[in-house]
Amino acid sequence: MEHNRIIEFAYAKVNLSLDVLGVLENGYHEVEMILQEIDLADDIILEPLESGIELHCDVDYLPLDASNLAWRAADLVLKETGLDKGVRITIVKRIPVAAGLAGGSADAAAVIRGLNRLYDLNLDLETQQRIGLSLGADVPFCITGGCAVARGIGEKLEPLVGFGSHWVVLAKPNIGVSTPAVYQRYDQTVIEERPDTPALIQAIRTDQMRYVAEHMVNVLEPVTTQMHPIVGKIRNQLIQYGSDGAMMSGSGPTVFGFFRQYDRAMKACKNLKKTYAQVYLARTTNRAL
């Protein structure tokens, strides 16, 4: 059965921890990190076509060809299933790009999930995640969402349940960060603080937001902050505005802070918007499978 139109939400993620355990034989860094989905999301609208892939977007800075992960996700699903059909994809963009929030990966994941529904392809979760992994290490997590520990290069997932509906304020400075450059500098940096991942996992399981907020550690943060001091400045501002804890997400440059009270979170947003164009208020989601 074919549907006329499917809408999927592509949810952003933040890191509640990020540790680098070493370098694998293939040159990739082995990581252990806790990923948390938030309800800041792009809309992904899928419509059937007789053939080919069309990509449309409401902003003009995204490529609309095979260099876009959403396009490549559609191409892979169509090839994997041998489906003699096409798809029109429309992206309504809300997640900032190159921000450490997995926006491109989330879009790709939403296309995989959405095509599965659009054409009733019956792809199981494992197949969807395998297709996703060939596009990027964050895509398998973005397919399931919620909260999870990610190991390996980020593809080995251990789902965690019980960390929904906490207020998060995010601010992205107007800079781009090169992830390879951050990891390259990381390799030459002495890291003084690493996350206690088991303690954080336990706190998430028992929904102790304040403990998590106060003990989040991202080993890439001092590296990116050294390259872009504005990252440290935003973190200090979030704490000054009453956040229980603030940290950079991924390799940056977005910084986020947890707030227990909506009013305080809103006030922090207003203050940050005086300086930064890209400021968002979101909540953690608990999209357990």
Which of 13, 42, 107, 244 is catalytic? The answer is: 13
Question: What secondary structure does DSSP assign to 120-159, as a single string?
Answer: T----HHHHHHHHHTT-TTHHHHHH-SEEEEEETTTEEEE
Active site residue 13: yes
Which of 107, 138, 172, 244 is catalytic? The answer is: 138
Please answer whether residues 159 and 148 qualify as being in contact, where contact means their C-beta atoms are separated by less than 8 angstroms.
yes
Active site residue 270: no
Choose among 154, 152, 226, 217: nearest CA to 185.
226
State the residue for tokens 């935003």: 234
For the beta carbon of residue 63, count every other beta carbon within 10 angstroms: 12
Q: Phi/psi of residue 84, each to 5°? A: -90, 55
Choose among 229, 236, 256, 115: nearest CA to 175.
229
Please answer whether residues 209 and 166 qualify as being in contact, where contact means their C-beta atoms are separated by less than 8 angstroms.
yes
Span between the terminal Cα atoms of the chain, in Å: 24
Choose among 188, 249, 254: nearest CA to 223.
188
Please answer whether residues 135 and 72 qualify as being in contact, where contact means their C-beta atoms are separated by less than 8 angstroms.
yes
For the beta carbon of residue 197, count every other beta carbon within 10 angstroms: 18
Please answer whether residues 234 and 271 qualify as being in contact, where contact means their C-beta atoms are separated by less than 8 angstroms.
no
Burial code (b: 16+ CB inside 10 Å, e: under 16) for 208-225 equals bbebbbebbbbbbbbbbb
Active site residues: 13, 138
